[in-house]
């Protein structure tokens, strides 16, 4: 599906061999740095104690299916996303900047994990498809069985941010 979505205030970062990746700042709960000494393993996952909870960390390289990712930087730079009580930490190589401009993202990427590209600060920048990248967080936090898809009900998405609405709509259509 090809389309165009508008995004205001994108956050720019490097990760997984990409020099310019971005997500809308409106979807980000916090930007954090964790010393490597605080990062632990639990149930085969990278985790950190965060705000009296256990925050699962996923290096973006592994979320995009990249192999041969090196060790985490010290300190690890993490973009924290929150949805209700669920939180996820996406480990990136470097958080670069927050751009104060509205851009139009062309939804044309065939690569899983990327929603499309846009010109940001005079350079082409890839935007993450957050529902795809963060799907591992949601799948592990849900213990439900297979969904009954025999009946489909309409869904109303209320969000003032068109880019965010588009992400949710795409995610629901894929589900």
pLDDT digits (tens, 9 = 90+) for 113-169: 888 888 888 888 888 888 777 775 544 443 333 444 445 566 667 767 776 777 777
Question: The tokens of 120 are what?
Answer: 């940001």
* The predicted structure's pLDDT at residue 30: 93
* The predicted structure's pLDDT at residue 82: 84
* The predicted structure's pLDDT at residue 130: 80
Range ranked top by mean pLDDT from 36-40, 71-75, 111-115: 36-40
- With b meaning 16 or more CB within 10 Å and e meaning fewer, what string describes 110-140? eeebbbbbbebeeeebbbbbbbbbbbebeee
- With b meaning 16 or more CB within 10 Å and e meaning fewer, what string describes 47-60? bbebeeeebbbbbb
Long-range contacts of 110-118 (CB under 8 A, 24+ apart): 111/64, 112/64, 112/65, 113/63, 113/64, 113/65, 114/64, 115/5, 115/167, 115/170, 116/5, 118/7, 118/22
- What residues contact residue 145 under an 8 Å CB cut-off, 6+ apart? none
Q: Taking 80 as the threshold, does the pLDDT of residue 101 lie above it?
A: no
Q: pTM for this one?
A: 0.70
Among residues 21, 162, 167, 11, which one has the least CA distance to residue 100? 11
């Amino acid at each position: 599906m090809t389309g165009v979505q508008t995004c205001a205030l994108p956050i720019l970062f490097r990760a997984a061999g990409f020099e310019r990746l971005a997500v809308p700042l409106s979807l980000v709960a916090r930007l954090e740095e964790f010393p490597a000494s605080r990062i632990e393993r639990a149930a085969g996952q990278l985790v950190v104690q965060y705000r009296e909870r256990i925050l699962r960390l996923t290096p973006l390289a592994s979320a995009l299916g990249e192999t041969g990712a090196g060790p985490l930087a010290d300190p690890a730079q993490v973009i924290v996303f929150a949805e209700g009580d669920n939180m996820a930490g996406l480990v990136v190589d470097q958080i670069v900047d927050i751009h104060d401009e509205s851009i139009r993202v062309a939804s044309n990427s065939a690569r899983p994990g990327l929603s499309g590209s846009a010109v940001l600060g005079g350079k082409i920048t890839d935007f993450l498809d957050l529902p795809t990248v963060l799907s591992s967080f949601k799948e592990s936090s849900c213990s439900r069985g297979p969904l009954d898809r025999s009946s489909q009900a309409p869904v109303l998405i209320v969000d003032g941010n068109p880019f965010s609405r588009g992400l949710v709509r795409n995610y629901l259509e894929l589900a």
